[in-house]
Amino acid sequence: MYNLILFGPPGSGKGTQASLLVDKYDFLHISTGDMFREELSRNTPLGQEARSYMDAGHLVPDEVTIAMLRKRVDQHPDVTGIIFDGFPRTDPQAAELNELMQGRSSQINALILLDVDADTIVERILGRGATSGRADDLKEDVIRTRYENFVNYTSPVFDFYQNLGLAHRVDGTLTPEEVSREIDSIIGREMPAGQ
Protein backbone atom coordinates (compact mmCIF):
# COMPACT_ATOMS: atom_id res chain seq x y z
CA MET A 1 0.00 0.00 0.00
CA TYR A 2 1.35 3.40 -1.02
CA ASN A 3 0.13 6.41 0.97
CA LEU A 4 0.73 9.92 -0.27
CA ILE A 5 0.01 13.38 1.10
CA LEU A 6 -0.69 15.82 -1.72
CA PHE A 7 0.24 19.18 -0.31
CA GLY A 8 0.05 22.78 -1.45
CA PRO A 9 -1.81 26.06 -1.15
CA PRO A 10 -5.35 26.52 -2.52
CA GLY A 11 -5.16 26.61 -6.31
CA SER A 12 -1.89 24.66 -6.55
CA GLY A 13 -3.47 21.86 -8.60
CA LYS A 14 -3.98 19.18 -5.94
CA GLY A 15 -7.43 18.21 -7.21
CA THR A 16 -6.22 17.85 -10.80
CA GLN A 17 -3.23 15.74 -9.78
CA ALA A 18 -5.31 13.61 -7.40
CA SER A 19 -7.71 12.76 -10.25
CA LEU A 20 -4.79 11.73 -12.48
CA LEU A 21 -3.32 9.56 -9.71
CA VAL A 22 -6.67 7.86 -9.05
CA ASP A 23 -7.00 7.05 -12.76
CA LYS A 24 -3.43 5.78 -13.06
CA TYR A 25 -2.90 3.89 -9.79
CA ASP A 26 -6.46 3.28 -8.54
CA PHE A 27 -5.61 5.07 -5.30
CA LEU A 28 -8.34 6.19 -2.90
CA HIS A 29 -8.54 10.00 -2.82
CA ILE A 30 -9.51 11.37 0.59
CA SER A 31 -10.17 15.10 0.44
CA THR A 32 -10.96 16.40 3.89
CA GLY A 33 -13.19 19.10 2.40
CA ASP A 34 -15.25 16.50 0.51
CA MET A 35 -15.25 14.25 3.56
CA PHE A 36 -16.67 17.00 5.79
CA ARG A 37 -19.32 17.91 3.21
CA GLU A 38 -20.41 14.26 2.91
CA GLU A 39 -20.61 13.66 6.66
CA LEU A 40 -22.58 16.91 7.10
CA SER A 41 -24.97 16.22 4.21
CA ARG A 42 -25.68 12.69 5.48
CA ASN A 43 -26.12 14.06 9.01
CA THR A 44 -23.96 11.27 10.47
CA PRO A 45 -23.00 11.34 14.17
CA LEU A 46 -19.52 12.61 13.18
CA GLY A 47 -21.13 15.18 10.90
CA GLN A 48 -23.39 16.36 13.71
CA GLU A 49 -20.41 16.66 16.03
CA ALA A 50 -18.45 18.64 13.41
CA ARG A 51 -21.46 20.89 12.78
CA SER A 52 -21.73 21.75 16.49
CA TYR A 53 -18.22 23.22 16.37
CA MET A 54 -18.66 24.88 12.96
CA ASP A 55 -21.98 26.48 13.93
CA ALA A 56 -20.25 28.01 16.96
CA GLY A 57 -17.52 29.40 14.72
CA HIS A 58 -14.84 27.02 16.00
CA LEU A 59 -12.44 24.78 14.11
CA VAL A 60 -13.39 21.11 14.13
CA PRO A 61 -11.08 19.41 16.66
CA ASP A 62 -8.40 17.08 15.36
CA GLU A 63 -9.96 14.06 17.04
CA VAL A 64 -13.21 14.50 15.06
CA THR A 65 -11.31 14.91 11.78
CA ILE A 66 -9.14 11.87 12.57
CA ALA A 67 -12.28 9.85 13.40
CA MET A 68 -13.69 10.74 9.96
CA LEU A 69 -10.40 9.77 8.31
CA ARG A 70 -10.28 6.50 10.24
CA LYS A 71 -13.84 5.71 9.10
CA ARG A 72 -12.99 6.46 5.47
CA VAL A 73 -9.80 4.38 5.54
CA ASP A 74 -11.63 1.48 7.21
CA GLN A 75 -14.31 1.55 4.48
CA HIS A 76 -11.62 0.80 1.86
CA PRO A 77 -9.30 -1.88 3.29
CA ASP A 78 -8.17 -3.27 -0.08
CA VAL A 79 -7.01 -0.13 -1.90
CA THR A 80 -3.55 0.01 -3.47
CA GLY A 81 -2.92 3.36 -1.85
CA ILE A 82 -4.41 6.53 -0.43
CA ILE A 83 -4.01 10.17 -1.39
CA PHE A 84 -4.58 12.50 1.56
CA ASP A 85 -5.63 15.94 0.30
CA GLY A 86 -6.16 18.76 2.81
CA PHE A 87 -4.80 16.82 5.76
CA PRO A 88 -2.63 17.08 7.77
CA ARG A 89 -2.54 20.86 8.28
CA THR A 90 -0.50 20.91 11.50
CA ASP A 91 2.33 18.93 13.09
CA PRO A 92 -0.01 17.32 15.66
CA GLN A 93 -2.30 16.22 12.81
CA ALA A 94 0.73 14.76 10.99
CA ALA A 95 1.65 12.77 14.09
CA GLU A 96 -1.97 11.56 14.42
CA LEU A 97 -2.04 10.51 10.75
CA ASN A 98 1.21 8.57 11.14
CA GLU A 99 -0.26 6.80 14.16
CA LEU A 100 -3.48 6.01 12.27
CA MET A 101 -1.55 4.44 9.38
CA GLN A 102 0.82 2.50 11.66
CA GLY A 103 -2.24 1.05 13.38
CA ARG A 104 -3.13 -0.44 9.99
CA SER A 105 0.37 -1.82 9.42
CA SER A 106 1.02 0.91 6.89
CA GLN A 107 2.74 4.28 6.73
CA ILE A 108 2.91 7.57 4.87
CA ASN A 109 5.33 6.97 2.00
CA ALA A 110 5.67 10.54 0.74
CA LEU A 111 4.48 14.11 1.02
CA ILE A 112 4.55 15.94 -2.31
CA LEU A 113 4.36 19.73 -2.17
CA LEU A 114 3.02 21.42 -5.30
CA ASP A 115 5.07 24.57 -4.97
CA VAL A 116 3.34 27.60 -6.51
CA ASP A 117 4.02 31.31 -5.86
CA ALA A 118 1.36 33.71 -4.59
CA ASP A 119 0.88 35.62 -7.86
CA THR A 120 0.26 32.43 -9.83
CA ILE A 121 -2.19 31.22 -7.18
CA VAL A 122 -4.10 34.53 -7.38
CA GLU A 123 -4.25 34.34 -11.18
CA ARG A 124 -5.44 30.71 -11.13
CA ILE A 125 -8.11 31.19 -8.46
CA LEU A 126 -9.46 34.40 -10.01
CA GLY A 127 -9.76 32.46 -13.28
CA ARG A 128 -11.50 29.60 -11.49
CA GLY A 129 -13.78 32.06 -9.70
CA ALA A 130 -15.06 33.38 -13.01
CA THR A 131 -16.76 30.00 -13.55
CA SER A 132 -17.12 28.52 -10.04
CA GLY A 133 -19.40 31.19 -8.63
CA ARG A 134 -17.55 31.01 -5.29
CA ALA A 135 -17.41 34.51 -3.82
CA ASP A 136 -14.07 33.79 -2.07
CA ASP A 137 -12.54 32.92 -5.47
CA LEU A 138 -13.25 36.43 -6.79
CA LYS A 139 -11.47 38.58 -4.20
CA GLU A 140 -7.72 38.95 -4.52
CA ASP A 141 -7.23 39.98 -0.89
CA VAL A 142 -9.08 36.86 0.32
CA ILE A 143 -7.03 34.64 -1.99
CA ARG A 144 -3.77 36.19 -0.75
CA THR A 145 -4.90 35.70 2.87
CA ARG A 146 -5.62 32.03 2.16
CA TYR A 147 -2.16 31.68 0.60
CA GLU A 148 -0.48 33.40 3.56
CA ASN A 149 -2.38 31.16 5.98
CA PHE A 150 -1.03 28.14 4.14
CA VAL A 151 2.53 29.48 4.25
CA ASN A 152 2.37 30.53 7.90
CA TYR A 153 0.35 27.76 9.49
CA THR A 154 0.41 24.71 7.25
CA SER A 155 3.78 24.65 5.53
CA PRO A 156 5.61 23.52 8.73
CA VAL A 157 4.04 20.11 8.00
CA PHE A 158 6.48 19.94 5.07
CA ASP A 159 9.35 20.21 7.57
CA PHE A 160 7.78 17.45 9.71
CA TYR A 161 7.93 15.02 6.79
CA GLN A 162 11.24 16.36 5.52
CA ASN A 163 12.74 15.41 8.88
CA LEU A 164 11.46 11.88 8.21
CA GLY A 165 13.04 11.90 4.74
CA LEU A 166 9.62 11.74 3.06
CA ALA A 167 9.05 15.27 1.69
CA HIS A 168 9.37 16.18 -2.00
CA ARG A 169 8.91 19.50 -3.77
CA VAL A 170 7.44 19.71 -7.29
CA ASP A 171 7.21 22.91 -9.32
CA GLY A 172 3.44 23.39 -9.45
CA THR A 173 3.74 26.12 -12.11
CA LEU A 174 4.57 23.50 -14.74
CA THR A 175 1.80 22.17 -16.98
CA PRO A 176 -0.48 19.56 -15.36
CA GLU A 177 1.15 16.90 -17.56
CA GLU A 178 4.66 17.91 -16.46
CA VAL A 179 3.63 17.97 -12.80
CA SER A 180 2.08 14.53 -13.23
CA ARG A 181 5.34 13.17 -14.70
CA GLU A 182 7.30 14.58 -11.74
CA ILE A 183 4.88 12.94 -9.29
CA ASP A 184 5.03 9.63 -11.19
CA SER A 185 8.82 9.77 -10.95
CA ILE A 186 8.65 10.19 -7.15
CA ILE A 187 6.10 7.40 -6.78
CA GLY A 188 8.15 5.13 -9.02
CA ARG A 189 11.19 5.62 -6.77
CA GLU A 190 9.22 5.22 -3.56
CA MET A 191 6.48 2.65 -4.24
CA PRO A 192 7.06 -0.75 -2.64
CA ALA A 193 7.80 -3.57 -5.08
CA GLY A 194 4.82 -5.52 -6.35
CA GLN A 195 2.41 -2.59 -6.61
- 151 assigned ligand-binding residue: no
- 75 assigned ligand-binding residue: no
- 48 assigned ligand-binding residue: no
Nearest to 27 by CA among 44, 9, 4: 4
Instruction: Out of 70, 128, 139, 169, pick the active-site residue.
Output: 128
Q: Would you call 51 a catalytic residue per the annotation?
A: no
- 122 assigned ligand-binding residue: no
Helix ranges, 42-175 (H) = 45-55, 62-74, 91-102, 118-132, 140-149, 156-162
Residues 21 and 182: their CA atoms lie apart, in Å, by 12
Tell me if 111 sits within 8 A of 168, measured CB to CB.
yes
- 93 assigned ligand-binding residue: yes
Q: Would you call 128 a catalytic residue per the annotation?
A: yes
Q: Would you call 24 a catalytic residue per the annotation?
A: no
Residues 68 and 64: their CA atoms lie apart, in Å, by 6
Instruction: Pick out the residues of the known binding site.
Output: 11-16, 32, 37, 58-60, 86-89, 93, 128, 134, 146, 174
Annotated binding site for AMP: 32, 37, 58-60, 86-89, 93, 134, 146
Give the residue ranges of the annotated binding site for ATP. 11-16, 128, 174
Catalytic residues, by residue number, are: 14, 89, 128, 134, 146
